[in-house]
Structure 1
Amino acid sequence: MEETKTYTISIYTENSVGLLNRISGIFVKRHINIESINVSESEIDHVMRFIIVVHTTETWVKNIVGQIEKQIDVIRAYYHGDEEIIYLQTGLFKIASHLLFDERQIQNIIKESHAQIVTVSREFFVITKSGRKEEIEALYEALKPFGIMQFVRTGRVSVSKAEMEISSLLKAFIH
């Protein structure tokens, strides 16, 4: 039986309405859960980049990428294992302000985790932490006993270690 592991799928697309729905439908049909999704502008003008993280087999991820590339607005799709990319996520933690001064241990947690305080008000302060999912989860677990007012974590963002030929591919279309 083929090994399942985490794959990051990068999809370069035109910015069109309904594409996210069509792409997510490809995963739904195969009963594959999307672990995280991020959509932003790419390094190419007027081209969007989806970053989707899934836990599946290489056979399934190849199949999914093939189906995604058949979508009209998709320019190109790639998949990579964790060892082929540089990636991170960011978490934001909202904590009651009095704890920053009353619980000295919180200051140590922030320092030891290499997190940063981004804002402080009378009622709350906000900490940000960028890194691997496990690092953000560890900070969450360390802060949880003190009370977290709000927490949010982004989806994965990544760049590949190897060059992706998307820029040269698009230049060929333009010229």
Structure 2
Amino acid sequence: MEKERFTISVYTENNIGLLNRISAIFLKRHINLDSMTASRSEIPDVYRFIIVVKITEEQVKKIIGQIEKQIEVIKAFYHKDDEIFHLETALFKIDSSLLFEKREIQNIIKNNNANIVTVTREFFVIEKTGRRRETEALYNKLEPYGLMQFVRSGRIAISKEKMHISKILESFTPENI
């Protein structure tokens, strides 16, 4: 089977140590994570991990089964890239003198639909939200000017198809367990 990129969504209770146990599932199988994010979900007291991996569909099915064996895990799903809307955010910190000395930086920012979020005497910060290839392209354009700092979030994603996840999760809320 061919490796594909999968986005795994894991709905959980918010308990200490769960992140360690979930990441250990991937570690045991020598699977590298492309990204991982966590946030609260649309259901009170239910949290959501979004994990991106490049593996076979057979592997992702096994991993979902292992993740769902964790006590605090309510439900896990996986999706291919064409089944979800996904974005990430990147921040770029650059020397402020370049903003005024190098006109092409202003054009790069504008042409890449990025935003300047702050300017100080020493540096300015650019924010870019989009697909990974877009943040990578902006990185490649800005890198020759000297990046002071760069950081990118993990993927955030929602499914294109209606999942009725809220109804599924309502039965798992603490007052119903």
Q: Shorter-chain-normalised TM-score: which range?
A: over 0.9
> 1:162 Cα deviation (Å)?
1.1
> 1:140 Cα deviation (Å)?
0.5
> 1:13 Cα deviation (Å)?
0.1
**What is the letter of the counterpart of residue 40 of structure 2?**
E
Which residue in the other structure is 1:115 paired with?
Answer: 114
Please give the alpha-carbon distance, in whole angstroms, between the structure 1 residues aligned to 2:57 and 2:170: 30
Please give the alpha-carbon distance, in whole angstroms, between the structure 1 residues aligned to 2:97 and 2:107: 15
**What is the letter of the counterpart of residue 114 of structure 1?**
N
Q: Secondary structure at the match of 1:72?
A: coil
**What is the letter of the counterpart of residue 97 of structure 1?**
S
Please give the alpha-carbon distance, in whole angstroms, between the structure 2 residues aligned to 1:95 and 1:54: 31
Please give the alpha-carbon distance, in whole angstroms, between the structure 2 residues aligned to 1:31 and 1:81: 21
Aligned pairs for 1:99-138 (under 5 A) are 99-138=98-137
**What is the letter of the counterpart of residue 92 of structure 1?**
L
Which residue in the other structure is 1:14 paired with?
Answer: 13
Aligned pairs for 1:1-175 (under 5 A) are 2-173=1-172, 174=176
Whether contact under 8 Å (1:76, 1:166) holds in the other structure is no
**Which runs of 5 or more residues in structure 1 are unaligned?**
none
> 1:87 Cα deviation (Å)?
0.2
> 1:59 Cα deviation (Å)?
0.2
Whether contact under 8 Å (2:43, 2:170) holds in the other structure is no
**Which runs of 5 or more residues in structure 2 are unaligned?**
none
Q: Secondary structure at the match of 1:37?
A: strand
Superposition misfits of 4+ residues, deviation over 3 angstroms: 172-175
Q: CA RMSD in A?
A: 1.1
**What is the letter of the counterpart of residue 34 of structure 1?**
L
